[in-house]
Amino acid sequence: MEKTIVVTGGAGFIGSNFIYYMLNKHPYYKIICVDCLTYAGNLSTLKKALENPNFRFEKLNICDYEGIKKLFKEAKPDIVVNFAAESHVDRSIKTPEIFVDTNIKGTQNLMDVCRELEIPRFHQVSTDEVYGDLPLDRPDLFFTEKTPIHASSPYSASKAGADLLVLAYHRTYNFPATISRCSNNYGPYHFPEKLIPLMIINALHNKPLPVYGDGLNVRDWLYVEDHCKAIDMIIHDEHLGEVYNVGGHNEMSNIDIVKLILKKLKKPESLITFVEDRKGHDRRYAIDPTKIKEQLGWYPETKFADGIEKTIKWYLAHEDWWKEIISGDYKNYYEKMYGAK
Ligand code: NAD
Ligand code: TYD
């Protein structure tokens, strides 16, 4: 059956991967990307999607009530999937305010429009970071959906605030929503301020690889396509008010990731530079994905060894994409594409 899906934040890393995943998996669906193109949004990422008649792009801020309402009234989406967010922990430490505006108020705004227009389904893309962190010396501990919210950074606190609002809207208004909390993603179109793309690009330029603190912090890495598959399964399932943890039991320390990237690119470990630690730096994230596996049959398809290989190859083959970002030229892409429209 044909459906219309609004994907907010679809010019960013995971949202764009989700758009390509959905256009391929559901060729009869109409996909509308809503994105205001912050520094993290890059329209050239959606170049191929823009050639697909079932796809369209709307430059809009999720905090803009009237703009969102006008679009939703006209497009009548069956599902809204909210990826739009400020997503970088280091930026949240420097400028928390925009994180509250976009991640909390933006989510509230989208939900209010959805309620008013009785949009049948809303999905909030959240993060395992809302649970805080786990100690390194307790490998037996994992985040489950019942783990208390215990955010450490302004970023994770703003995502936790949004999650609480989504659950409160479900309880108070019977708002038809679900939430997914995924671990760290990696793959194509990952913005080069985040660990894996930053290290690949610095290594290619023989620049120092800045590892925070002792480099022993652990993240649970998931190939982005497996995250997209999980969201696709959740939004096609009828259970509402549910939270699902998404992760593939793939814990790696930062230093091991950096060494692996250097090895794959045949670059020396002398490029590694230990720098001052991130403030409030979470020690370990680790997801227990039992619920989504048992209830929806989700499992991760891409092993880390294959995913990192594919990712490095993607960055080697798409220099034009990341060079445009590094030079800042991508900011002109929207003007070039849409300036005259
Ligand atoms: P990203 O920073 O790459 O992309 C965010 C996108 O949102 C950008 O295109 C940006 O232009 C857009 N955006 C920001 N503010 C907006 C606003 N006010 N209105 C409209 N668009 C706006 O982020 P990402 O890594 O793709 O993360 C997407 C979502 O997934 C976020 O909600 C994040 O919290 C969540 N998440 C990310 C990870 C990860 O590893 N990257 C893991 C779990 C969950
Ligand atoms: P990041 O990609 O920013 O994701 P998150 O903070 O959401 O997990 O960082 C992943 C890990 O890598 C985190 O422990 C911080 C560390 N890190 C570095 O050591 N150096 C860097 O330059 C960056 C960007 C991150």
Q: Residues 45-76, buried b or exposed e (16+ Cβ, 10 A)?
A: bbeebeebebbebbebbbbbeebbbebbeebe
Q: Is residue 331 part of a domain?
A: no
Enclosing domain of residue 96: 4-188+222-249+281-301
User: Strands 218-220 and 251-253: what pairing?
Assistant: antiparallel
Ligand 2 mean position to 54 CA, how many Å? 36
Which residues are bridge partners to 252 per DSSP? 219
Closest atom of ligand 1 to CA, residue 17: 26
Distance (Å) from CA 235 to ligand 1 centroid: 18
DSSP codes of every residue in 294-307: HHH-----S-HHHH
Q: Is 330 a catalytic residue?
A: no
Catalytic residue flag (residue 78): no
Model confidence over 294-329: pLDDT tens digits?
999 999 999 999 999 999 999 999 999 999 998 887
pLDDT tens figures, 97-131:
999 999 999 999 999 999 999 999 999 999 999 99
Task: State the CATH number of the domain containing residue 101.
Answer: 3.40.50.720
Does 71 map to a domain? yes
Q: Is 128 a catalytic residue?
A: yes
Distances (CA, A) of 104 to 85, 251, 282: 9, 29, 21
Q: Is the CB of 38 under 6 A from ligand 1?
A: yes
Helix or strand or coil: residue 200? helix
215 lines ligand 1 (CB under 6 A): no
Within a domain: 210: no
CA-to-CA separations, 143 to 37, 153, 168, 183, in angstroms, rounded: 32, 17, 21, 10
Task: Report which of 253, 244, 257 is spatially closest to residue 288, judged by C-alpha positions.
Answer: 244
pLDDT the model gives residue 295: 98
Q: In the numeric block, which tokens belong to residue 256?
A: 């091991």
pLDDT under 70: residue ranges of the chain: 330-331, 333-334, 336-341
Residue 136, domain member (yes or no): yes
Spatial contact of 128 and 182, defined as CB atoms under 8 Å apart: yes
* Mean pLDDT score of the chain: 96
Instruction: Establish if 265 belongs to a structural domain.
Output: no
Domain membership of residue 150 (yes or no) is yes
- Position 328 in a domain: no
E strand spans, the chain? 4-8, 30-35, 55-59, 79-82, 122-127, 177-182, 185-186, 209-212, 218-220, 222-223, 243-246, 251-253, 272-275
| Of 68, 83, 103, 250, best ligand 1 pocket probe by most atoms within 8 Å of the beta carbon | 83
Residue in 155, 186, 285, 330 annotated catalytic = 155
**The pair of three-digit structure tokens given for residue 155, joined into one six-digit string:** 């970023």
Model-level pTM?
Answer: 0.97
What's residue 1's pLDDT?
76
Write the DSSP symbol of residue 326: H
Phi, psi of 54 (to 5 degrees): -85, 5
pLDDT of residue 99: 98
Residue 318 falls inside a structural domain: no
Number of structural domains, the chain? 1
Catalytic residue among 21, 35, 86, 128: 128
C-beta separation of 215 from 274 below 8 A: yes
